[in-house]
Amino acid sequence: MAEIAASSRLITHSPSRTTDQGEAATAWLLSMPAIVLIVVFILLPVAAVIVLGFTDFELGYAGFKFVGFDNYAELLTDRTFKRSLWNTAVYTSLVTPVSVFLALGLAIMIEKESIGRSFFRTAYFLPVASLLVAMATVWQYLFHPTIGPINAMLAEIGIQGPNWLGASSTVLYGLSIIGVWQSVGFNLVLFLAGLTSIPRELYAAAEVDGARSGWDRFRLVTWPMLGPTTLFVTTISIINSVKVFETVKTLTEGGPNKASEVLLFSIYQEGFVYLRVGYASAMTVVFLTILVVLMFIQYRIQDRQVHYT
């Protein structure tokens, strides 16, 4: 009896076991392309950068040796690097809030518009789609201290315009304006998508509940309902600001007097101009760490606060 029971259990269970194994194998097989791509194009390069950060490798020299934390020690005393960290932080703290709130305001206005809506959406999205390097020449002209229309307009209202990109006191602001111009369209499209997903009945309920002014309805419905969008837009904006490079490279080369030296530009200088790959890798690790921390913070906030369902 026991034997029969045991064998029957075997019979009933063995097919399911092979199915399980088969399923597991298929699962691995199906996810293999993605795994290979992630390893080859993301994990391996990151690992290589981390390893190189501990070496004195310079492009063109044969061989390298491990130097431990020497590169990181040098970073601590490197005034250019510290300057670029500070400049990146200033640039980010200017561009992110302005581009986020400007985009939110514009999105709310465009949302109300029925006829011109797609026109405005396209118009504001153009800077995102256009090549920043090409548009930089336009900005160079706009910001030109003598022939530039911006200073010409300021002169009209009696303000002596600064030498936007040529003076160390204003160059970061000039770059920030370009940064805002470039990112506002992208943020705006994201906010528009977020706005259209807010149920209309919530606004109706808010009105019936006594939210008289647009501000009341914004506080009661729009702002909280846009929470997930705002968090996403803010994170993307911060990351994009931290990655500022093209405008610096094309317009200022980090100058004048390192006043617009930013993180990515320093890495570029060390790695591709001075060819000190080991040192540039150490900088890159710092850069990656900053990005990872930012993303981690975003996901923590998202999990805790802005999920309503």
Partner 1 sequence: MSALSLRGIHKSFGANTILKGVSLEAEPGEFIALVGPSGCGKSTLLRILAGLETADGGEIVAANQDITRLKAAERNIAMVFQSYALYPHLTAAQNIAVPLLMRRLTRAQRLPIIGPLMPGRGKAIAEIKHDVGNMAASLKIEHLLDRKPGQMSGGQRQRVALGRAMVRQPAIFLMDEPLSNLDANLRVHARGEIVDLHRRAGVPTLYVTHDQAEALSMADRVAVMIGGALLQLSPPHVIYDDPQHVEVAKFIGQPRINLLPSQIEAGSTVAIGDVRCALQDRTPSSGTSITLGVRPEFVRIARGGDTGLPARIDRVEFLGSEIIVHSRLDAVGEAMIAKVSPAEGAGLAPGMPIRLHVQGEHILVFGADGARLPVTRLTSSMVRETVHG
Question: Applying CB under 8 A, does 212 fall inside the site for partner 1?
Answer: yes
Alpha-carbon separation of residue 76 from 49, 82, 116, 273 (angstroms) = 19, 8, 53, 21
Q: ∠189-110-141 over CA atoms, to 5°?
A: 70
- Using the minimum distance from each CB to partner 1, give the nearer residue, 23 or 209: 209
Does residue 294 bind partner 1 (CB under 8 A)?
Answer: no
Binds partner 1 (CB under 8 A): choice among 128, 202, 239, 294? 202
- In the bound state with partner 1, the residue whose beta carbon lies nearer, of 134 and 193, is 193
Are 166 and 148 spatial neighbours (Cβ–Cβ below 8 Å)?
Answer: no
Part in contact with partner 1 (CB under 8 A); list of ranges 27-35, 43-51, 221-229, 263-271: 221-229
Query: Residues 5, 34, 62, 208: which binds partner 1 (CB under 8 A)?
Result: 208
Nearest approach, Cβ of 197 to partner 1 (angstroms)? 12
Is 205 a binding residue for partner 1 by CB under 8 A? The answer is yes
Q: Which of 174, 177, 309 is nearest to 255 (CA)?
A: 174
Which residue's CB is nearer to partner 1, number 50 or number 202? 202
Question: Cβ closer to partner 1: 178 or 226?
Answer: 226
Which of these ranges, 19-27, 73-81, 132-140, 216-224, lies near partner 1 under the rule CB under 8 A? 216-224
Which distant-in-sequence residues (6+ apart) come within 8 Å of 258 by Cβ?
A: 80, 83, 84
The site map against partner 1 for 227-256 (x = CB under 8 A) is x-----------------------------
> Stretches 38-46, 123-131, 172-180, 222-230: which one binds partner 1 (CB under 8 A)?
222-230
Of the candidates 201, 273, 303, 304, which one interacts with partner 1 according to CB under 8 A?
201
What's the min distance (Å) between Cβ of 112 and partner 1? 16
- The site for partner 1 (CB under 8 A) is made up of 199, 201-202, 204-213, 216, 219-221, 224-225, 227, 308-309
